């Protein structure tokens, strides 16, 4: 239907800016930014569309022009954060040094990321949101993050799948306990190096 009209215009093949789409994306980003701010202030689960609307200067119902549902907002936040984590882990992968150094860097970077923001940690790793299941697209970067962890472990000779599962459980346990029993502190965070030493010693003994 629009094919002929476009072909008629000389500038059709040049990458024309879609101002409407740009504006829409900008508003979406603004809403997400406000959502993060509100989640940080009142808690992830306490986020309400009415508060969110107030924050961005529109009625709550108008948000539905930008997101299909509240869960869609959470989903976008989930994806956004996972992409940020993926970027950090890719930096680790591309860092010069020994495989062991990269493994350490990845472990510390991950824990630091997980302990930076409670709402983000709850959204990504702890299952705090009642009915929330991330969409496949939003989950995709998380799969890549796990793949990078597998690579870092393989680089230091740890390839058995069970050892990867143990590794994720170790990190998961540290961040869970840290947020649950000493939020903002470092009681479990500071044990990370000990846990890493424990894990590596065991992996060496098990020879994989």
> What does the binding site for a second copy look like in residue numbers (CB under 8 A)?
43, 45-46, 125-128, 130-131, 162, 165-166, 168-174, 176-177, 179-180, 187-188, 191, 194-195, 197-199, 201-202, 205
- Between 91 and 198, CB nearer to a second copy: 198
- Tell the smallest beta-carbon distance from residue 12 to DNA (Å): 18
- Tell the smallest beta-carbon distance from residue 24 to a second copy (Å): 32
Long-range contacts of 41-49 (CB under 8 A, 24+ apart): 43/119, 44/118, 44/119, 44/122, 44/123, 44/128, 44/129, 45/128, 45/129, 45/130, 47/73
- Measured CA to CA in angstroms, residue 181 lies from 22, 119, 156, 171 at distances of 44, 16, 32, 16
d(CA 149, CA 208): 15
Binding to DNA by CB under 7 A, coded x per residue (else -) over 69-108, reads xxx-------------------------------------
Residues in 22-51 that interact with DNA by CB under 7 A: 23-24, 27, 47-51
Residues 6+ positions from 188 with CB-CB distance below 8 Å: 174, 175, 177, 178, 181, 182
Q: Based on the shown chain and the rule CB under 7 A, indicate whether residue 58 belongs to the binding site for DNA.
A: yes
- Between 87 and 190, CB nearer to a second copy: 190
Beta carbons within 10 angstroms of residue 192's beta carbon: 22
Q: Which of DNA, a second copy, none lies near 64, with the C-beta cut-off 5 to 8 A by kind?
A: DNA
Binds DNA by CB under 7 A, chosen from 65, 95, 98, 172: 65
- Between 85 and 174, CB nearer to a second copy: 174
Closest CA to 183 of 43, 36, 77: 43
Q: Which of a second copy, DNA, none lies near 6, with the C-beta cut-off 5 to 8 A by kind?
A: none
Whether the CB-CB separation of 86 and 145 falls below 8 Å is answered with yes
Q: Which chain residues interact with DNA by CB under 7 A?
A: 20, 23-24, 27, 47-51, 53, 58-62, 64-66, 68-71
């Amino acid at each position: 239907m629009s094919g002929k009209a476009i072909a008629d215009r000389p500038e059709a093949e040049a990458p024309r800016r879609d101002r409407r789409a740009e504006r829409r994306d900008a508003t979406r980003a603004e809403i997400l930014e406000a959502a993060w701010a509100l989640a940080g202030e009142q808690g992830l689960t306490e986020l309400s569309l009415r508060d969110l609307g107030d924050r961005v200067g529109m009625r709550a119902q108008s948000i539905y022009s930008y997101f299909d549902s509240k869960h869609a907002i959470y989903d976008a936040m989930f994806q956004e954060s996972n992409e940020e984590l993926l970027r950090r882990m890719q930096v680790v992968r591309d860092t010069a040094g020994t495989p062991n150094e990269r493994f350490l860097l990845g472990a510390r970077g991950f824990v630091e990321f997980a302990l930076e923001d409670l709402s983000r940690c709850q959204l990504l790793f702890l299952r705090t949101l009642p009915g929330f299941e991330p969409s496949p697209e939003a989950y995709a970067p998380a799969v890549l993050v796990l793949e990078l962890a597998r690579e870092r472990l393989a680089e230091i000779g740890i390839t058995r799948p069970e050892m990867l599962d143990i590794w994720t459980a170790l990190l998961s346990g540290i961040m869970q306990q840290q947020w649950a029993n000493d939020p903002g502190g470092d009681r479990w965070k500071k044990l990370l190096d000990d846990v890493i030493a424990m894990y590596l010693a065991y992996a060496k003994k098990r020879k994989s």
